[in-house]
Amino acid sequence: MATITDPVVRAHKREVIEKAVLRFCGDSGDGMQITGSQFTNTVALYGNDLATFPDYPAEIRAPAGTLPGVSGFQIQFSSGDVFTPGDAVDVLVAMNPAALRTNVKDLKANGILILNSDAFTDGDLRKADLTTNPLEDGSLDAYRLFPVGLERLTRTALQDLGLDAKSMDRCKNFFALGMCYWLYNRSMDLTYKWIEDKFKTKALLVEANKLAMRAGYNYCEATEAFQVSYEIPPAKLVPGTYRNLSGNQALAIGFVAASQKAGLPLFLGSYPITPASDILHELSMYKNFGVMTFQAEDEIAAITSAIGAAYSGALALTTTSGPGMALKTEAMGLAVAVELPLIICDIQRGGPSTGLPTKTEQADLLQAMFGRNSEAPIPVLAPSTPGDCFWVAVEAAKIALKYMVPVIILSDGYLANGAEPWRIPTIDEIPGIKVKFAENPIGFHPYSRDPETLARPWAIPGTMGLEHRIGGIEKQDVTGNINYEPLNHEKMVRLRAAKVEAVTQDIPDLVPAGDPDGDLLIVAWGSTYGAITAGMKTMRAKGHRIGHVHLRHLNPLARNLGEVMSRYRQVLVPEMNLGQLLWILRAKYLVDAQGYNKIQGQPFKQSEIEAKIEEILG
């Protein structure tokens, strides 16, 4: 059995820097997402602030080595605040020519480029549509190039294990990971632990992956390939206990927290769809919290089963992405009509139709606002960071239960898969959620209303004396009896709208980040938070007076939004759509706001926000 030996420690230069952006890219079968998340966990545990951006193709396995098959994982980590995964890359690890070709444009001039030189045969080059070899044609002269025979070196390191060539080659990503650990002076312990756990029934693979990673680390140490390694000290985060958390994980545990706080069992009706499925996967593990996960036969059954669960007294949830939202439309209208608490999570992706399943977009806002027949208003919330997804999940549950309404959460692919260090709250920091079921048959009416919230009573089946009928047909206020009278209908339409509007009493006034008044107010929502925050910081340092409000509540809007906008000379609304929030703001406030729109399936870069501000303010 081969053994892992510690490297001979040689003297090399160690440089302390503030931050770095690293990207792993390769074929979708090369394990880039695993490599990236291992690196992420290690730097997180070390105490750096960080943001990640996994970017992978919709195809599970596009033909190996081709351009459509390229999968990437980017991380920015720092001793200071991190708001985005970074614009330009300091270190790029590319496993094949296709990965190089699609990613090298993001590498900084003089950046470190680690290439798997074993993957640059004529055949590999052809698959990437390259006519000349970048290792030889001088096209990479602007970078610090490190061609490393990853396959050859990994096979040499593992030669005594008796593995077949294919299995040995599968470990090459860990060789590259070992190199990056050396480059940033990181301990490999956490990844060792993960490998042991992951392959616990396959001792040989544990050995192989550990050995490959150690070999990568030792390779750097022994060859002095890099003359310098880097040190990025821990960040000064708010004191507390932290973990690394992705947006979808945060939503999942947020719903469990809400269910515990409300004392209600959690029911999820869902149909698998990218990029929302991880919420279903995550929640299906929490059966010891009494969580019921129902993988339905389609998107419609997913939401209607959740409506059934809500009707009988569960905290009910359905999760989906844009195409699934479209299918759930009629059922959302039913939830509005029968006034039951329900949470609908839309993890937005590029559209229309199937669109870009694995890429991010914010173009479902107007669908969430208006995408139902007739007048069917629904409160809409949007998280701004992966960690914020937790808090939005709890708040959505709170609103749904307090006002007896369906609530939509608009997350997106970027938040869903991106991760950041998250300060773990104490149980007491999570808001309590009050729930009251109707119990008293005397004077009971299914559509009587709480004067403050306009909520109707939640009278669940099984409660003696409260037998009653509800449905999608228009009903009389108070009694709930079928009623087609003109004035009653108008009354009910207005009541349902007033109920949603009543949620404003729970929305705190907006306080702009940055300057409280001045030249420019940026109004935005969702996952653009990081790029805007980082970009605005730079531009304020240049002397511009800029404010930023990031809307968590998209329906209803905070009461003072109009007043806040009036304090600035100009209003800019950056969105990953053609201007949907912009449309709402202009319609509602008659404000001459301007949009900044990017619809590329990719998040905004900090530099793009800066350039736009520069363009406006000069």
Partner 1 sequence: MTTASIPVLTKKDFQTDQEVRWCPGCGDYAILSAVQSVFPELGIPREKFVVISGIGCSSRFPYYMNTFGFHTIHGRAPAVATGVKIAHPELEVWVATGDGDSLAIGGNHTIHMLRRNVGIKVLMFNNKIYGLTKGQYSPTSEFGKKTKSTPFGTADRPFNPLGLVIGADTSFVARAVDVFQGHLKDTLKKAAAHKGSAYVEILQNCNIFNDGAWFNLTEKEARSEHVVQLEHGKPLIYGKNRDKGIRLNGMELEVVHLGNGNGLTEKDLLVHDEHHKNPAYAYTLAQMEDMPGFPTPIGVLRSWDRDRYEDVMSKQIQDIIAKRGPGDLSKLLRAGDTWEVK
Q: Which of residues 160-199 bind partner 1 (CB under 8 A)?
A: 190
Q: Which of 520, 557, 551 is nearest to 535 (CA)?
A: 520
Q: Which one of the spans 330-338, 393-401, 528-536, 606-614 is the region binding partner 1 (CB under 8 A)?
A: 330-338
Rule CB under 8 A: choose which of 305, 320, 384, 411 binds partner 1.
305
**Separation CA 364–CA 325 (nearest Å):** 9
Q: Does 300 bind partner 1 (CB under 8 A)?
A: yes
**Separation CA 342–CA 403 (nearest Å):** 11
Q: Which one of the spans 253-261, 378-386, 499-507, 525-533 is the region binding partner 1 (CB under 8 A)?
A: 253-261
Q: Considering only residues 335-394, where is the footprint of partner 1 by CB under 8 A?
A: 338
Q: Which of 305, 364, 365 is nearest to 335 (CA)?
A: 305
**Strands of the sheet with 406-412, listed across from one edge:** 292-295, 266-270, 315-320, 342-348, 406-412, 380-381, 553-555
User: C-beta of 36: minimal distance to partner 1 in Å?
Assistant: 16
Nearer to partner 1, 68 or 441 (CB): 441
Q: Does 304 bind partner 1 (CB under 8 A)?
A: yes
Q: In the 3-class helix/strand/coil scheme, how is 271-331 assigned residue by residue?
A: CCCCCCHHHHHHHCCCHHHCCEEEECCCHHHHHHHHHHHHHCCCEEEEEECHHHHHHHHHH
Rule CB under 8 A: choose which of 143, 289, 444, 589 binds partner 1.
289
* 77-to-17, 184, 419 alpha-carbon distances in Å: 11, 11, 11
Q: Does 466 bind partner 1 (CB under 8 A)?
A: yes
Using the structure block, give the residue that is written with the tokens 């409260």.
Answer: 466
- Draw the binding track, 22-61, toward partner 1 (x: CB under 8 A; -: no contact): -------------------x--xxxx--------------
Distance between start and end Cα atoms, the chain: 66
Q: Which one of the spans 198-206, 217-225, 308-316, 577-585 is the region binding partner 1 (CB under 8 A)?
A: 308-316
User: Taking the CB of residue 462, how many other CB atoms lie within 10 A of it?
Assistant: 9
Q: Does 238 bind partner 1 (CB under 8 A)?
A: yes
422: enclosing H helix or E strand: strand 419-423
Q: Considering only residues 407-446, where is the footprint of partner 1 by CB under 8 A?
A: 423-427
Q: Does 314 bind partner 1 (CB under 8 A)?
A: yes
Nearer to partner 1, 467 or 563 (CB): 467
Nearer to partner 1, 49 or 87 (CB): 49
Q: Does 478 bind partner 1 (CB under 8 A)?
A: no
Nearer to partner 1, 427 or 487 (CB): 427
Q: At what angle do helices 172-183 and 32-46 cross, to 10 degrees?
A: 30
Total binding residues toward partner 1, as defined by CB under 8 A: 74
User: Taking the CB of residue 492, how many other CB atoms lie within 10 A of it?
Assistant: 18
Rule CB under 8 A: choose which of 12, 61, 126, 287 binds partner 1.
287
> What stretches of 94-159 show up as alpha helix (H) in DSSP?
97-103, 122-127, 150-157
The tokens describing 518, both together, are 């001045």
Rule CB under 8 A: choose which of 481, 538, 594, 597 binds partner 1.
481
User: C-beta of 232: minimal distance to partner 1 in Å?
Assistant: 15
Q: Does 269 bind partner 1 (CB under 8 A)?
A: yes
